[in-house]
Amino acid sequence: MAYSSKSRTASSPSSSTSHSSTNSSVSRLQGIAKQMAPSTSITSFPPEAVPQAPEDPLFGLMRAYKADPSPNKVDLGIGAYRDNNAKPWVLPVVKKADEILRNDPDLNHEYLPIAGLASFTSKASELLLGAESPALAEKRVASVQTISGTGAVHLGALFLAKFYKVHGANRTVYLSNPTWANHNQIFSNVGIPIATYPYFDKQTKGLDIEGMKRALGDAPDHSIILLHACAHNPTGVDPTPEQWREVADVMAAKKHFPFFDTAYQGFASGDLDRDAGAIRYFIEKGFELVIAQSFAKNFGLYGERAGCFHFVSSPSPQAAEITTRVASQLAILQRSEISNPPIYGARIASTVLNDKALFEEWKENLRTMSGRIISMRDALYSKLQELGTPGNWDHIKNQIGMFSFTGLSESQVLKLRDEFHIYMTKNGRISMAGLNTGNVEYFAKAVDKVVRESQ
């Protein structure tokens, strides 16, 4: 026993050293493991700072449509023209312009100037304002090529956020209710507060002109008012010429600042001048204003991102000087955003706009697109009438442009998707371009069924 006790006593220091060494090794391993383990400390962007954003509803709808294996599926969501076979349509005049460009031995891929392709922007402004416009003759227009209409709205919003600070200016933009969803994001991203004015009358499925005028009259003086020049997105409801005059009178009395967004000139009615009527009237009345212009729809150049932003000053002895100053600041903003715009879509549009024969052919292509959409409105209306679908469907014919606000509820929209594989936005908007002679009856019968079942 004595021997055993001595043995244990003698071994005690060694055992202690071993235990200490083991603890040290464990601590080192724990430290290494802690350094290697996932931790919010390894990023400056943890979930509480950068939460997962929801999928864009429209592109999510497009993804769901593509994944649907049903042979009967119908895409009425995306705002892009389709021919009667539900296929994208490359305008014949665009094919000709493309051929001209590809056979040009002097064609290169050099940078454009900051303000873009001058032969494009000059004709783009003529297209909107008219070739004989006094504003052009008096050098009251500054034009900058942009990344389609979205880029034009953004550049305009950025310009106003930085410079719309004159005494008494109300740095709030008033958007129609409803409006193109991206308007909200664009203005919010540059820090401009948003308000809305009534636009769509759910009872008549037409324009709430009195509500619109009342809201514009109640808005603080010098507010920014965003207006859809034609083919309102998403409703397809436009003011009449007389209603535009009433709106202009209210805005003039309140000294509001008009911001026009035009994405469907020529595509809405088939008439370029008619679709630019509201803009021209406001300029004629002496408004200082800005315009965002897209060539995605009316040229079918969706992926080429061709657009323009225009500033128009009021008539005055200082107008040319004001316009020059504004143009200089737009160039600075453009330089810091995209440096210079993409060239190919602008070249396509410029080739057409600067050639008399091609320009006339383009107008015929526009009539083809707008005419097919009008025929689909008539066909859908007729089918619903034949079926005796409950409700008044006159708005299908009365609305204009690519979209129609059907008046269908969100539950009806979801039922159409689940039971009939028909894809449209939850607010009941449909792209008329997605209808054709092969699916319009199928769609009408589906609408008839869900409307009756919800009575």
Looking at the annotation, which residues are catalytic? 180, 261, 297
Q: What is the DSSP letter of 88?
A: B
Bridge partners of residue 227, in order along the sequence: 260
Q: What is the DSSP letter of 202?
A: T
Q: Are the beta carbons of 324 and 318 closer than 8 angstroms?
A: no
6, with CB counted inside 10 A (0-12, 13-18, 19+), is exposed
Residue 328: how many CB atoms within 10 A of its CB? 10
Q: Which amino acid is at 52?
A: Q
The torsion angle over the Cα atoms of residues 68, 71, 72 and 74, rounded to 10 degrees, is: 50
Mapped onto helix, strand or coil, the DSSP state of residue 82 is strand
The torsion angle over the Cα atoms of residues 281, 283, 286 and 290, rounded to 10 degrees, is: 130
Q: What is the DSSP letter of 172?
A: E
d(CA 65, CA 34): 45
Tokens of 318: 């200082």
Nearest to 152 by CA among 300, 356, 296, 6: 296
Q: Are the beta carbons of 275 and 231 closer than 8 angstroms?
A: yes
Tokens of 271: 């008439």
Sign of CA dihedral 75, 77, 78, 79: positive
Residue 338: how many CB atoms within 10 A of its CB? 16
Nearest to 352 by CA among 93, 119, 157: 93
Which residue do the tokens 């410029």 mark? 350
Which runs of E-coded beta strand occur in 277-363? 289-294, 306-312
d(CA 268, CA 367): 9
d(CA 174, CA 184): 10
The torsion angle over the Cα atoms of residues 55, 56, 57 and 58, rounded to 10 degrees, is: -140
Q: Are the beta carbons of 58 and 425 closer than 8 angstroms?
A: yes
Read off φ and ψ for residue 214, nearest 5 degrees: -65, -45
Tokens of 90: 């490359």
